[in-house]
Amino acid sequence: MVCCMADKYGWCKDIKETIKGPDGKDYCIFHAPADSKSPNDLERETNNIIENTSNLINLSGSIFNCPIRFEIQNNKSLHISNSTFLYRLEIVDSNTDRIIAHNSKFKTINIFNSIVNLFQISKTKLEQIFATESTFKYVTISDINKEEETKHNFVEFVLSNIYTFSYFNSKTNLSIVSCTIDKSLYVNDICSNFLQIYSCTINGYAVLNKIETNKITISNTIPINNLEISNTNLSIFPLNGSPIENITFTLCEWPKHKDRITTKDSISIIELIHKKQTYSTLTKKEYTEILSTNEDIFRRLKKKARLDNNELLASDWHYGEKFMLEKRLWTEAPALTWLTLWLYRQISDYGESPAKALWVLLSFLSLFPLTFSLFTCDYTFPIDSGDIRTLTNNMLNYIPFASKAPDSSKLYPLRYLEIFWQTVITIQAAITGFAFRNKFRR
């Protein structure tokens, strides 16, 4: 007799021994209902298929009612689509060309110490996947449990020590797309060209540790209650679209620009600004949209840093936020509004650099009063002690609380300049004090 599923799957048509199912139909041992076959016989026949197949191991549509362990060598391919694994599936010490599983049901997949050219799993129900100490060329995990309605679906992904290299040692991609992960996601020690977590539902913890890749993208992935990224260079991680408020960064390396920590998103626009190439590269609308997006990212990072009591990081995020705002105001706001923020950066880095604010204050107290005095006092060359005394007394007129009562014989415009400069010094002194307060508070 021939298996009744032979017309659908084809590969089992040469299996002569069949089992009578509860419905009266004849099945091969692979497609027979779970209660109609011996687990030992199924395991034995599975090993025979693996050993006697030279290229493609096709077990699609099978129902496995026992734990299954595959050891596949000689770069064979494994197709297990439309299959049901009632117990764990182990792929151990294997060297395979591809593993394909679509529309299947799994409890646990454990891939250990194996080399896989292509690992593709989609539209599948799965509780756990562990991939450790294995090498992959292409990995795509998508639509896992997407249609699952039950609330008791505990899913755990553990991807550890994964190295996705092509034959030419160029790193390739790892994607986790449209998955429902109700327990946790662990991605540890991954080396790939691109790591993408897109349109997933992760209700437990998500941990990304030691990620070596050219780019990480986490977007449209909600809700994430706790996402930790650790020991990773964040110059590869764009934050736009990511759940910033729920991410904890631990021992990570942020990109820098001129000794200030910044983000992957802002580096390119900052470099264009400093090279004065913005309008030659972007339209005004594109430019302002990029500035607005980065301003929002910095604002959210600053808020999170302060909630985490990380004031040093909050200082850099505050600077980034105000820098983006300043550049945006140049294109959108009245000139005076932009000028105020521009001056604030020049004299104190938006209140975040006490050293800069102090040097500006000292110059306001000495260099500028001296310059004003040289142009407004009567003296002759060579300057004698009397001229120095005159210049010094005149300089004091520009410094708050340092001069005597104003000379009524002075011209009014000059007196207005003295009052104006005393006001400037007072404001700069307040900004310097504010900058030092920020420094010590952090």
Give dist(CA 295, CA 150) in Å, integer. 41
Reference 35, options 67, 2, 63, 61; nearest CA is: 63
407 vs 220, residue with greater confidence: 220
Q: What percent of the chain has pLDDT over 70?
A: 88
pLDDT at 122: 83
Q: What is the pLDDT of residue 405?
A: 56
Least confident segment among 112-121, 192-201, 261-270: 192-201
Q: How far, in Å, CA of 405 to CA of 378, rounded?
A: 20
% of residues, the chain, pLDDT over 90: 45
Cα 363 to the chain's mean position, in Å? 42
pLDDT at 174: 72
Tokens of 339: 């000028």
Examine the pLDDT at 275 and tell me if it is beyond 60: yes
Strand bridging mode 128-144 / 95-102: unpaired
Q: Judging by DSSP bridges, how do beta strands 128-144 and 173-177 pair with one another?
A: parallel
Q: How far apart are alpha carbons 351 and 318 in whole angstroms?
A: 9
Instruction: Please check the confidence at residue 260 and state whether its pLDDT lies above 80.
Output: yes
For range 356-370, the mean pLDDT: 92
> Does position 166 have pLDDT exceeding 60, yes or no?
no
Beta bridge partners, 119, equal: 99, 139
More confident residue, 279 or 426: 426
Give one DSSP letter per residue of 161-221, joined into a string: EEEEB-TTS-B-EEEEES-EESSEEEEEEEEEEEEEEES-EE-SEEEEEEEEEEEEEEES-
Per mean pLDDT, which range of 8-12, 239-243, 381-385 is the poorest? Answer: 381-385
**What average pLDDT does range 92-105 have in this prediction?**
92
Distance CA 178, CA 424 (A): 58
Going by pLDDT thresholds of 50, 70 and 90, the confidence category of residue 243 is confident
pLDDT for residue 325 is more than 90: yes
Model confidence band, residue 408 (pLDDT cutoffs 50, 70, 90): low
The predicted model gives 348-361 an average pLDDT of 95
pTM assigned to the model: 0.70
Checking if the pLDDT of 432 tops 90, the result is: yes
How confident is the model at residue 160, as a pLDDT? 57
Query: CA–CA separation, 227 vs 205, rounded Å?
Result: 6
What does the mean pLDDT of the chain come to?
84
Residue 301 to residues 246, 263, 310, 342, 377, Cα–Cα distance (Å): 11, 10, 11, 22, 53
How do strand 19-20 and strand 26-27 relate by DSSP bridges?
Answer: antiparallel
What tens digit of pLDDT does each residue of 45-58 get? 999 999 999 899 99
What's the average model confidence in pLDDT over 159-164?
A: 54
pLDDT in the model for residue 7: 93
Return the top range by mean pLDDT from 158-167, 367-376, 382-391: 367-376
Over residues 209-235, mean pLDDT: 80
pLDDT of residue 418: 84
> pLDDT-based confidence at 223, cuts 50/70/90?
low
pLDDT for the residue 114: 87
Among the ranges given (188-192, 228-232, 346-350, 364-368), the one the predictor scored with the smallest mean pLDDT:
188-192
- Smallest CA-to-CA distance from 231 within 244, 213, 205 is with 213
Q: What is the mean pLDDT of residues 227-249?
A: 88
Q: Which band of pLDDT confidence, cut at 50, 70 and 90, is reported for residue 62? A: very high
Can you tell me the mean pLDDT for 82-99?
A: 93
**Residue 110: pLDDT above 80?**
yes
| Residue that is written with structure tokens 């802002």 in the block | 266
